[in-house]
Amino acid sequence: MTETLDFKTTKTSKSRLQETDFDNLPFGRTFTDHMFVADYADGEWKNFEIVPYGPIELSPAISALHYGQAFFEGIKAYKHADGTVTIFRPDKNAIRFNKSAERLCMPTLPEDIFVSSIAAVVDIDRDWIPTQPNHALYIRPFMFATDPYLGVTPSGTYKYMVLIGPVGPYFSKALRVKIETHYTRAAEGGMGYAKAAGNYGSSMLPGRKAAEEGFDQLIWTDAKDHAYIEEMGAANAMFLLDGVLITAEAGNTILDGVTRDTVIALAKEWGIKVEERKVSVAEIIEGAKNGKLTDAFGAGTAATIAPVGSISYNGEEYFLSDPKTREFSNRVFQTLDDIKYGRVADTHGWNYTV
């Protein structure tokens, strides 16, 4: 048990828990009874409070709506068989949250407040945590600028909030992915490593075009030559090529994923060679052709471990092995599940107990 900070709490007068269909949980559409809110003004964070989930009043002139000062994180909480509630690696998300804040010229949030605010709202709504396999409580901390001023300058005021909601699996099948060779997600010197709202906004048109062609996800490539793989739309891209786990090095165009970091740690423990480096499109396609690409998957908080069934490049589609037969990604998925749901000892200290 880890001590958390005390926050002012106003409980809802009527819970929606009994009205919620836990057998039908589309990702990101169901929210619990409460949310966390805090304000930044005059150089400090203040007004920390847990309140009933609902609309908030904002000026239509707030700078987040006009100039994009907004970002978020994604985390999950789990319920163990004995009723214990844990959050998976929130300390890592706290670090990345502040990296995003710094890149968008926004105030950082003390890491203890970040973790405690999440734990507090999860605690009050712990009965919302699903108990079905592959289900969890998704946590969305986010920050946005609130100055009602139409000027291209950093806001002086901000709002930090935490929303939570029960979710099922993000993907329900092996992914059919397309390597993107025209559109760009991030460029050197940009803000690809931040979970900025604008990064996701710019990905929607190419994502929709890919979906119209029957693809589930894009694999983004470098902005200069489209010759190197960066990440997927909803996860970091990871490959087992000739027995080596390879993934793009986290830099200023690559999101430093918490699940990615976890997979790398497990692989090294199991004696599997890991290379974080530039991953060329050519070597992945060649590996798909000659059979040396034995595993490919997306790794992310929402997606967890999402197997790639086929990779398309320049109009050609390359089919990979049956995901059910893949030793590495299945072992990772099962190990992560066992740790998150408390079925095995957490020897890494990854679970934060609420």
Q: Which regions of the chain carry the CATH code 3.20.10.10?
A: 175-340
Domain with CATH 3.30.470.10 in the chain: 8-169
Average pLDDT on 252-280 reads: 97
Contacts made by residues 31-35, CB under 8 angstroms, sequence distance 24+: 31/163, 31/164, 31/165, 32/121, 32/125, 32/128, 32/137, 32/164, 32/165, 32/166, 33/124, 33/125, 33/128, 34/121, 34/124, 34/125, 35/121, 35/161, 35/162, 35/163, 35/164
Considering the domain 175-340 in this protein, what is its CATH number?
A: 3.20.10.10
In this prediction, residue 64 has a pLDDT band, given cuts at 50, 70 and 90, of very high
Reported as a single tens digit per residue, the pLDDT across 317-353 is 999 999 999 999 999 999 999 999 999 999 999 999 9
Average model confidence (pLDDT) across the chain:
96
Mean pLDDT confidence for 82-100: 98
Identify the CATH class of 8-169.
alpha beta
pLDDT band at 50 (very low <50, low <70, confident <90, very high): very high
Give the model's confidence band at 4: pLDDT under 50 very low, under 70 low, under 90 confident, else very high. low
pTM: 0.96
Residue 271 confidence (pLDDT): 98
Reply yes or no on whether the pLDDT at 1 is more than 50: no
Residue 2 has pLDDT above 70, yes or no: no
* CB-based contact 351:88 (threshold 8 Å): yes
Q: Is the pLDDT of residue 185 over 60?
A: yes
